[in-house]
Amino acid sequence: MTLLTSVVGFSIFGLAARFGQLGIQKRNLFDNLGGHAISMGAFGFAGYWAYKWDIRAGELLAEKRAEIAARRGVKPDELLAEA
């Protein structure tokens, strides 16, 4: 998942959530465009954070696999082949 798709996807979800919120309240969907922008921005930031968290989690897993392989005395590539 790339950074752009994460941010845009979460932003679109934020817009859909805003439309759902206004739909439940039976208000005009295009009444306050600033609210849409704030919702999209907040969810876009959540997408950015999720992308960075995914990258960091991958790094932590790679470090842990290397540590386990070092304890077992095997190469890290062999450890992945076992799984």
Model pLDDT for residues 45-61, shown as the tens digit of each residue: 999 999 999 999 999 99
Contacts of 19 (CB under 8 A, 6+ apart): 29
For the chain, the domains span 3-82
Judge if pTM exceeds 0.85. no
Hey, is 44 helix, strand or coil? helix
Model pLDDT for residues 10-41, shown as the tens digit of each residue: 999 999 999 999 999 999 988 889 999 999 99
